[in-house]
Amino acid sequence: MLIPEYLQEISETIKKTKNTVTIKLKCNCGGSDFKVYKSVEQDIVDIEHGFNEIIRDNGELYLVKRNFFGKIIKRIKCDNMFCKKQRKIIKVNCEKCGIEHIIFDNYKHGYDAIINKYEGNAANSNDLVEFKLCYSHPMEVFLKIYQDILYDDFKEEFHDLDFNTYLYSFSNIDIYGVASKNKKINIYSEETA
């Protein structure tokens, strides 16, 4: 199991098995304590008050608003308004030098992100993203990356994708921190396939 390129320069390998690799973040400046930030979830759809029922009409789904007597007064065609996957980004700032590193972005990293790019369904990565500090104190940060598909199988499924793309297509990621007194803190976990 190899480490995705975007993490290679800022990590050291702690443990490797056939399908997993565990790495510890280490900034280029030598710092190993980081402040951790998560993206703030945004509402997928901004809908005015009163739309509270979904109906099917001629094979299409509509979000409807009814009046006091139950008559539909407004309707919005649903299309794919509820299908957008929320953007999840985990970033860290080195306590020693202040440099920021994105360690996971579900629009760019993981099997689903690679498949969506390959099939032309990539989510808009230019969305404005807000972040919140996860923990008030800096910590050591570890990532455990799982890869269930072999490179040969990946090449067979996607003929024109290179090895680097394969490294970005891991199937699961667990991110955790170790704070003072060796307390393990779960930061984020996602099955990306």
CB 76, CB 63: distance < 8 Å? yes
Q: Pinpoint the alpha helices (H) of 9-132.
A: 111-118
Closest C-alpha among 132, 111, 99 to residue 9: 99
184-191 and 172-178 strand pairing: antiparallel
| Total-model pTM | 0.74
Query: Which H or E run contains 53?
Result: strand 51-57
Closest C-alpha among 129, 147, 135, 136 to residue 176: 135
What pLDDT band is residue 30 in, cutting at 50, 70 and 90? Answer: very high
Q: What is the pLDDT of residues 120-160, one digit of tens each?
A: 555 555 567 889 999 889 999 999 999 888 888 888 887 76
Mean pLDDT of the chain: 84
Query: Which H or E run contains 58?
Result: none
Q: What is the pLDDT of residues 163-192, one digit of tens each?
A: 888 888 888 999 999 987 788 899 999 888
For 44, 52, 69, 70, the CA distances from 66, given in Å and listed in that order, are 23, 9, 8, 5
Question: 182 φ, ψ to 5°?
Answer: 55, 30
